[in-house]
């Protein structure tokens, strides 16, 4: 049972928060006016009648300076109380940095949809729980699935599949999926998702954002499908100064905030990809239906196994499948020495969705490519989601 203290004059916000709490966690809500935020932290906590406060939620009608001052005071005097700030926007890196310094656990935008608000609430409760029961925290924290989509060749559908996988997973885990563009020179995740990002991976890796997962979120773009995206650099030269360590660190931070980190990669086995593979829990190998593609995949697998970088989960996808190619799925399986898990046929509609910037799984045409992509999503979605849900529940309720 968690106790929330909401500081705002807004009754509509109170109702929205109450509805979210009712759907997310066992908990009760007590509201005090925005003016209370100027009082000393101890006095603010005493305003909550009845039960002691676990989570303080500061409304957008409290001035930012006052909110940050209160949060810092609470961090010092009541460190096991979590603070959530509801601000006009959560896309201002400066605000996110100040919020982090003030010990604020999460910033939700004032117009957050119920899923996003619920997520902030669940996270705050989980943070309180971790602070109060540090011993159980590690075992209770669900581990993110870090999925890297890779192939030694270009043009085989990595970006198409990574973006569709992210959109499909966001159906089971809304707001909990981030797609990362690791094709640092010619990445096109932004274009595949019709995004014009304000910040890109280089901004995130070079700035203090990389030090904190909450701040890092301000550097992500968001799609209408509930997917977050860390897009590739604007020009190929921009990527020159990004080190593999920086990439690894960014992925580690994203894995704290999200349930699924889907990484789209560049052709080949560059050092940035190797850094990503060190953190990868499942690799999705994309192979075309031609001899060079199959051989390339086989060689890449051999190199990674020498480097001991073959991720635990392995999923093999044959994309652009075409009966007239002269190769069969059986031929590919015997060369790779492993079963092909998903076959995605060459489809006329996929290039159309690429050109429109609307992933095929989001635009609703249920052709055989749609079925193939859905099957890939299901390999991660269904069972995994059940497991995460149980872990979340345990963590939040304990």
Ligand X SMILES: Nc1ncnc2c1ncn2[C@@H]1O[C@H](COP(=O)(O)OP(=O)(O)O)[C@@H](O)[C@H]1O
Quick one: which of 346, 361, 380, 381 contacts ligand X (CB under 6 A)?
A: 346
8 Å CB contact between 341 and 317: yes
| Angle in degrees, 0-180, between the axes of helices 114-132 and 382-397, rounded to the nearest 10 | 50
Q: Give the footprint of Mg ion on residues 151-170 (CB under 5 A).
A: 158-159
DSSP label at 258?
A: -
Quick one: which of 127, 301, 344, 388 contacts ligand X (CB under 6 A)?
A: 344
Q: Does 350 bind ligand X (CB under 6 A)?
A: yes
Nearer to ligand X, 54 or 183 (CB): 183
Q: Give the footprint of ligand X on residues 143-182 (CB under 6 A).
A: 154-160
Nearer to ligand X, 176 or 225 (CB): 225
Instruction: Kindly write out the interface string for residues 303-332 of this chain, putting x where it contacts ligand X by CB under 6 A and - elsewhere.
Output: ----------------xx------------
| CA end-to-end span of the chain | 9
Site size toward ligand X (CB under 6 A) is: 16
Q: Shortest gap between Cβ of 228 and ligand X (angstroms)?
A: 19
Nearer to Mg ion, 79 or 154 (CB): 154
Please choose, from the candidates 70, 112, 105, the residue with its C-alpha nearest in 3D space to the C-alpha of residue 87. 112
Residue nearest to Mg ion (CB): 159
**Cβ contacts of 126 within 8 Å, gap of 6 or more:** 141, 392, 395, 396
8 Å CB contact between 230 and 219: yes
Residue showing tokens 């957008």: 60
Q: Shortest gap between Cβ of 277 and ligand X (angstroms)?
A: 17
Nearer to ligand X, 100 or 177 (CB): 177
Report d(CA 43, CA 347) in Å as an integer: 64
DSSP label at 207?
A: S
DSSP label at 323?
A: G
In the chain, where does DSSP find H-type helix?
Answer: 11-24, 41-46, 64-77, 93-101, 114-132, 134-140, 158-172, 189-192, 201-206, 213-216, 244-257, 271-279, 291-306, 329-336, 349-356, 360-363, 368-380, 382-397
The partner in contact with residue 346, picked from ligand X, Mg ion, none with C-beta cut-offs of 5 to 8 angstroms by kind, is ligand X
Nearer to ligand X, 2 or 159 (CB): 159
Instruction: Kindly write out the interface string for residues 267-306 of this chain, putting x where it contacts ligand X by CB under 6 A and - elsewhere.
Output: ----------------------------------------
Q: Does 223 bind ligand X (CB under 6 A)?
A: no
Q: Does 354 bind ligand X (CB under 6 A)?
A: yes
* Element of type H or E holding 28: strand 27-32
Q: Shortest gap between Cβ of 155 and Mg ion (angstroms)?
A: 8
Interface positions with Mg ion (CB under 5 A): 158-159
Binding site for ligand X (CB under 6 A): 154-160, 319-320, 344, 346-347, 350-351, 354, 369
């Amino acid at each position: 049972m968690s106790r929330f203290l909401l500081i705002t004059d807004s009754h509509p916000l109170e109702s929205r928060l109450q509805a979210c709490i009712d759907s997310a966690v066992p908990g009760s809500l007590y509201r005090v006016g925005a003016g209370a935020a100027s009082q000393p932290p101890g006095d603010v906590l005493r305003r909550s009648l009845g039960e002691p406060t676990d989570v303080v939620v500061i409304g957008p009608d409290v001035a930012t300076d006052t909110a940050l001052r209160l949060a810092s005071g609470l961090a010092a005097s009541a460190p096991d109380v979590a603070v959530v700030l509801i601000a006009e926007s959560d896309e201002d890196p400066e605000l996110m940095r100040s919020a982090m310094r003030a010990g604020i656990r999460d910033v939700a935008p004032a117009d957050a949809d119920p899923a996003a608000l619920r997520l902030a609430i669940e996270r705050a409760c989980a943070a309180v729980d971790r602070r109060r029961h540090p011993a159980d925290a590690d075992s209770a924290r669900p581990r993110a699935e870090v999925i890297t989509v890779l192939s030694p060749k270009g043009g085989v559908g990595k970006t198409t599949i990574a973006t569709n996988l992210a959109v499909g997973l966001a159906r089971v885990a809304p707001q909990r999926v981030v797609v990362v563009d690791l094709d640092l020179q010619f990445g096109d995740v932004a274009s595949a998702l019709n995004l014009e990002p304000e910040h890109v991976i280089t901004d995130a890796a070079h700035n203090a954002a990389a030090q904190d997962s909450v701040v890092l979120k301000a550097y992500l773009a968001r799609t209408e499908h509930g997917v977050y995206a860390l897009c590739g650099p604007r020009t190929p030269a921009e990527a020159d100064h990004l080190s593999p360590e920086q990439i690894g660190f960014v992925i580690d931070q994203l894995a704290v905030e999200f349930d699924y980190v889907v990484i789209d990669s560049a052709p080949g086995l560059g050092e940035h990809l190797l850094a990503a593979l060190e953190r990868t829990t499942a690799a999705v190998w994309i192979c075309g239906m031609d001899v060079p593609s199959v051989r390339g995949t086989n060689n890449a697998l051999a190199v990674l196994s020498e480097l001991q970088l073959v991720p635990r989960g392995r999923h093999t996808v044959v994309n652009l499948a075409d009966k007239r190619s002269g190769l069969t799925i059986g031929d590919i399986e015997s060369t790779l020495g492993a079963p092909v898990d998903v076959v995605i046929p060459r489809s006329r509609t996929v290039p159309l969705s690429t050109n429109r910037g609307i992933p095929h799984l989001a635009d609703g045409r249920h052709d055989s490519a749609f079925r193939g992509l859905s099957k890939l999503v299901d390999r991660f979605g269904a069972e995994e989601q059940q497991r995460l849900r149980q872990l979340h529940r345990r963590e939040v309720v304990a």
